[in-house]
Amino acid sequence: MPDNDYTIPPLPSSYRAQLSDAEFARLSAFIYNVAGIKMPPAKRIMLQSRLQKRLRELGMDSFKEYTEYLLSERGKQEELIQMLDVVSTNKTDFFREPVHFDFLRETILPAHYQASGARPIKIWSAACSSGEEPYTIAMTIAEYCRIKGVQYDYSIVGTDISTKVLKMAENAVYKMDKIEGMPLEILHRYFLRSKDRANPTVRVIPELRRHVKVQRMNFMDETYPINETFDVVFCRNVLIYFDRPTQEKVIGKLCTKLKQGGYFFLGHSESIMNMSLPLQAVRPTIFRKI
């Protein structure tokens, strides 16, 4: 069939919509107020690109129309969560920054098991994204139990602002590229492989999934809807999107849910230097509540 039998389809009207400096300023200020996420001018094109999908789905032709809707009372009820799902960054991997999981396995778990006996260890993955972090924590604990030959109960709570990634975390189904480079014995012990050879995926085994519960939470909420305290809190690679005052405020609120002597993990690009917090450094990016 000759090429002249084809034509270039027109772009949807939402793709032709441009995010003006004025609308970007309104949207970025709103995103900062509701989610604490910084949107400097350099991110205008990124924001425009991500929100064009929402314009298409809502049948809107301009960012002015979308902004007016989002900032209305109706929009805050109907669109806010959808918008945050689109603009929030959710990059994560299994065993990311592995030194943290080595410290959990080699230091925290033996000390907690010896001190508490049968009491379960409680861990909070406070920016869990699509679930790779909480399931890595679960695998680390399972490996500790297997190697030491002990029975050790645990619970992991995963929270995130995005309902989309929380659904992925709850399902615990991942594409094959997510497990590239993982040791074969870990894959064999803790993942099931789909029977669909055309679209292969893996799923975390139910023995680990039953220890992980997820729920939506916004770091900007005045109080956090978590009714328990934890032995360990992971909050890694999310605070970089906040300014320093917001970072300090968020970590302070997270610490209210951390037990005395409990451990707090940050991402390797994050710091609490010059912050007034009840945390004492144990290793770089590893802290203990004092």
Which residues are known catalytic residues?
Answer: 50, 160
Which among 236, 283, 239, 241 is positioned nearest to 96, based on CA atoms?
A: 236
Q: How far apart are the C-alpha atoms of 24 and 276, rounded to whole Å?
A: 33
Distances (CA, A) of 9 to 6, 12, 62, 82: 9, 9, 20, 28
Q: Rounded distance, CA 26 to CA 24, Å?
A: 5
Residue bearing tokens 């917090």: 277
Angstrom CA distances, 217 to 97, 126, 157, 254, stand at: 24, 9, 11, 12
Measure the CA–CA gap between 62 and 76, rounded to whole angstroms.
18
Among residues 148, 140, 142, the alpha carbon closest in space to that of 105 is found at 140
